[in-house]
Amino acid sequence: MGTEPADSRVEPSPDLFEVSRDPILVADLTTQSVVDANEAAVELLGYDRTEIVGRRVADLTPVGAETVGADIETALTEAAETGEHGFECRLERADGTVVLVDISLSRATFDGEERLLAFLRDVTDRRRQAAELRSSREALQRLHEITIEDADADTTIRQVLDTGTEFLDVDFAYVTDIDDETQTISHAVGHGVGLEIGDEAPIDETYCEHTAAGDDDETVRAVTDVAETEWGASAAVERFELGSYLGTALLVDGRQVGTVCFAATEPRDQPFTETERMFVDVAARLLGSVLERERREARLDEQRRQLKAAFNAPRSFIGILDTDGTLLRANETAWKFVDRDPEEFVGEKFWDGPWWDHSEPLQRQARDAVERARDGATVEFEATHVDAAGNEIDADVTIRPVIEGGEVTTIVAQGVDVTERNEREHRLEMQNQRLRTLFDNAPLIMYALDDEGVFLQSQGQGLADLGLEPGEVNGLHVEQVYGDNSEVVEMVDRALEGEKVESTVSVQGRWYRSWLQPILDDGRVTRVVGVSVDVTEQKRRENQVAAINEATRRLMYATSPTEVAETIVDIADETLDHSLATVCRYDQESETLDPVASNQALRDMLSAAGMDEVPTIDDDTVEMTIFEAGETRLIDDYANTEDTVIENVHPDVETVLVQPLGDFGTLHVAARTETEFGETEVRLLDTLARNAVAALARAEREAELKATKADLERSNERLQEFAYIASHDLQEPLRMVSSYVDLLAREYGDQLDDEADEYIEFAVDGAQRMQSMIDALLTYSRVHTQGADFAECDTESLVEETLQDLELLIEESDATVSVESLPTVAADRDQLGQVFRNLVKNAIDHADVDDAPTVTISGQRTDEGCRFAVADDGPGVPESQRDAIFEIFKRGDRTSDEGTGIGLAVCQRIVDRHGGDIRVESADDGGAKFVFTIPEDEEVTP
């Protein structure tokens, strides 16, 4: 901080003074007032240059006039006299912040005068870093002391967290456990946030969501102001209201198990330093090692407990023997079994123990086993022991040597209680016997194949349906038995590949539901077992149901009652085992059931009997009685039943099921033998009948609608032709009337009085109104016949064009027309424009005569489509007339007499053509609001 002697100083260059990066103040030697300051000094102090010049140097240090070794006044005086001086001082900048500055004072010639130069250097960061370094050394030293202290894990963790809160100057610290997606507080110290040990929350609602090993390539996550980060809107911020945060992952055995976190309720002014990050990283590593040690000790304790539990297993008797057979120790289970004191027998020969004394042969067997184990052999045998209460148990006994260095050092004797196992095996054998009996008599097929596909076993009563005896196919490969049935072979191949197979296949005309289960040993298929059940009847019923479903679909496409009847007969022929079927239709005039469709089998039978068709069913017959009652009936002995239609036609008809088809007629299904119709067949016929009735009703309605539609189309064509011809035929007389009246006015106008002129004016006006009505009628008749295809239509531009067409009318009436935002629709552009034109003109024509009309056009999308509205502020439309005004030539009671009475009718006809609707409502200000809707067209993009 010294300077060169005065006689060696050189006058500083003003340019160097200005560009110098070091702050420099130039002061008067006598007054010590600042006469100049360079840019660096201005930036350091934060004042304008004008605020610095003229002030004494000592006045720039109001925070503290203390210096290193002397006060400022003394330092300035000494520098002025001796030529140099140096000290450190705290300065308060213009913004109120305090910096520590190293000031070097020296005399020098500046701008030709002797001045006192003050060279300033900001040493705040250097001093702070030195202080932080000392603090971090102390904190790390404390961590080291904690490490070597002999304390439990909880105490160590709390000490580490306490040390961290003090060193980092934060409010609190905590350690969390992370399991799946849940975080739990395991340890916490400090204050300011409601965190308690045991609190848990989903990890995505906590700060630790962002604190993970390697997150953002940072081992330690540091945030000085949480509100300024991506965390700012998270659930954690709303819950805990943290200001700053410093955390890292907690690793145990290289795996993240939680987090170590330090936080404060307020944001931090300065970023966290590398030293602070290093401290958190070291603390987390220390805690990880503590937890690793704790877990290792816990695992060792658990292993010791497991070993003890294994040694004293409740069904395992264990004894440790010397090589000569002397009992060294036995587990608790062995002593409890005989209820004896270990001191009585420890040191005695094992075979003389209380477990063998009830049987001399067992004693000899135990002694022989021990002698063989002494020679290095392992001996196993079964024994029956008797406990202290006299109960017998079965045990599997193992005597095995413990060999170390090639020599037998001890012998372990172990007996395992297998009484329950033997009882289970006995019960299992009995169950197997019963199952074998069941399998031999049940209508199933059970089989087993080896890993090559060769039958090992086949049994079950169901084999008889395939012409096989139990065990007949044993030893044969599946392809030898079912080589002509690829479905069976494929099913077995899939099971041999390890797949559990469930499938329904056809074998020799019958259907079987089969389950094949591969048996695995060490991942390899060793055999396949299977069960098959005959589901032929179920399959037949499923096919019938499927056929009925298909019939329902076919009936939907039948277009006439006769086609429906023929479809019904075909379905009955396809789905039922009974081959004779006919449908009769009821004739109301003759009160008979007339046959309209029969299957081929019935026609062949009738032909053999010399008949061309099924006879008509008259009144007073069984069939007519069933139809009139409307209830299905089965005639079991049809050939011998009186009052039937076919009683003399063919003697072989034994069974007939008559199914009424509503008011249409009846369905008859017959068999040549006496056959019992099952419940499934009756239900199928009932379903078929109900579907047929619906199809017949639909076919009749469609026929009526088709005829009605044709009549309407012819009527519309005639009506449109009439309107077109009438409108054209009326044009010529009107033109003639107009021409002659106009000629009369020109030729004889000067000879006529005022009353005659008025009559002529009436005639011309009437002709013109008639011409307008004819033109409107012609437009009305052409809405459907000459309309264009629908296309995407920009409604806003369309309305703009319409208002341009009505510009003269709008100006003459001084009307105001406002248009809001309108949606795009799919429509006939010209016709939609006609609707807007008619509605706007209608609003202006019917406005109050004394007021300038206001018209508002609006539109929006709704669930029903695009909804448009044209509202006015006129007199409105009475509710009693709101339907009538849309009728042709109806004009309502509004004030104006203008118009033809067809405009609103044309609007309604155009909207109807577009599939929408139109109505009139009361506007908000009491006027009329015409609302119409155009449905959305999904194929046209708005």
Q: Mind listing the pLDDT tens digit for each residue in 823-850? A: 999 999 998 998 999 999 988 888 876 7
Asked whether residue 725 carries a pLDDT value surpassing 50, the answer given is: yes
Most confident of 40-44, 107-111, 644-648: 40-44
Asked whether residue 790 carries a pLDDT value surpassing 80, the answer given is: yes
Q: Kindly indicate the confidence band of residue 633, based on its pLDDT and cuts at 50, 70 and 90.
A: confident
| pLDDT at 65 (0 to 100) | 40
Asked whether residue 230 carries a pLDDT value surpassing 70, the answer given is: no
Q: Kindly indicate the confidence band of residue 938, based on its pLDDT and cuts at 50, 70 and 90.
A: very low
Asked whether the beta carbons of 381 and 416 are under 8 A apart, the reply is no
Q: Which structure tokens are listed for 686? A: 């009932």
In angstroms, the CA 475 to CA 669 distance is 50
Most confident of 2-11, 398-407, 744-753: 398-407
Asked whether residue 107 carries a pLDDT value surpassing 50, the answer given is: yes
| pLDDT at 66 (0 to 100) | 46
| pLDDT at 919 (0 to 100) | 92
Q: Which conformational region is residue 169 in: left (phi greater than 0), alpha (psi within -120 to 50 degrees), or beta?
A: left
Q: Kindly indicate the confidence band of residue 648, based on its pLDDT and cuts at 50, 70 and 90.
A: very low
Least confident window among 415-419, 525-529, 741-745: 741-745
Mean pLDDT confidence for 852-863: 91
More confident residue, 380 or 563: 380
Mean pLDDT confidence for 151-160: 84
More confident residue, 408 or 228: 408
Cα–Cα distance list, 56 to 23, 25, 29, 63, 107 (Å): 16, 10, 11, 15, 16
Q: Using alpha carbons, select from 688, 696, 682, 685 the residue that is nearest to residue 551.
A: 688
In angstroms, the CA 48 to CA 24 distance is 14
Kindly report the CA angle at 620 between 615 and 624, in degrees rounded to 5?
65
Helix (H, G, I), strand (E, B) or coil at 807: helix
Helix (H, G, I), strand (E, B) or coil at 613: coil
Amino acid sitting at position 279? F
More confident residue, 681 or 406: 406
Q: Kindly indicate the confidence band of residue 886, based on its pLDDT and cuts at 50, 70 and 90.
A: confident
Q: Mind listing the pLDDT tens digit for each residue in 6-24? A: 343 445 566 677 777 889 8
| pLDDT at 891 (0 to 100) | 56
Least confident window among 260-264, 392-396, 684-688: 684-688
| pLDDT at 818 (0 to 100) | 94
Q: Mind listing the pLDDT tens digit for each residue in 861-877? A: 998 889 999 999 888 88
Most confident of 115-119, 385-389, 793-797: 793-797
| pLDDT at 639 (0 to 100) | 66
In angstroms, the CA 582 to CA 658 distance is 10
| pLDDT at 90 (0 to 100) | 79
Asked whether the beta carbons of 824 and 792 are under 8 A apart, the reply is yes
Q: Mind listing the pLDDT tens digit for each residue in 232-250? A: 555 555 566 678 888 888 8
DSSP characters for 659-671?
EEETTTEEEEEEE
Q: Kindly indicate the confidence band of residue 114, based on its pLDDT and cuts at 50, 70 and 90.
A: confident
| pLDDT at 410 (0 to 100) | 93
Considering the chain, what is the average pLDDT of its residues?
A: 80
Kindly report the CA angle at 96 between 92 and 101, in degrees rounded to 5?
25
Residues 6+ apart with CB under 8 A from 134: none
In angstroms, the CA 734 to CA 767 distance is 6
Q: Mind listing the pLDDT tens digit for each residue in 800-826? A: 999 998 999 899 889 999 999 999 999
Mean pLDDT confidence for 136-143: 74
* 252 backbone dihedrals φ, ψ, rounded to 5°: -130, 125
Asked whether residue 137 carries a pLDDT value surpassing 80, the answer given is: no
Mean pLDDT confidence for 716-737: 69
Asked whether residue 597 carries a pLDDT value surpassing 90, the answer given is: no
Most confident of 43-52, 217-226, 532-541, 544-553: 43-52
Q: Which structure tokens are listed for 611? A: 């008949």
Instruction: Please give the torsion angle defined by the CA atoms of residues 40, 44, 46 and 49, in that order, rounded to the nearest 10 degrees.
Output: -30
In angstroms, the CA 104 to CA 175 distance is 50
In angstroms, the CA 82 to CA 84 distance is 6
Asked whether residue 5 carries a pLDDT value surpassing 50, the answer given is: no
Amino acid sitting at position 503? S
In angstroms, the CA 864 to CA 856 distance is 22
| pLDDT at 856 (0 to 100) | 93
| pLDDT at 218 (0 to 100) | 67
Q: Kindly indicate the confidence band of residue 726, based on its pLDDT and cuts at 50, 70 and 90.
A: low
Query: What are residue 633's DSSP bridge partners?
Result: 658
Share of the chain above pLDDT 70, in %: 83
Asked whether residue 365 carries a pLDDT value surpassing 70, the answer given is: yes
Mean pLDDT confidence for 627-650: 71
| pLDDT at 374 (0 to 100) | 92
Helix (H, G, I), strand (E, B) or coil at 738: helix
Q: Which structure tokens are listed for 275? A: 């030293």
Asked whether the beta carbons of 65 and 71 are under 8 A apart, the reply is yes
| pLDDT at 737 (0 to 100) | 77
Amino acid sitting at position 133? L
Q: Kindly indicate the confidence band of residue 941, based on its pLDDT and cuts at 50, 70 and 90.
A: very low
More confident residue, 857 or 724: 857
Q: Kindly indicate the confidence band of residue 896, based on its pLDDT and cuts at 50, 70 and 90.
A: very low
Q: How many helices (H) and strands (E) does the chain have?
A: 23, 33
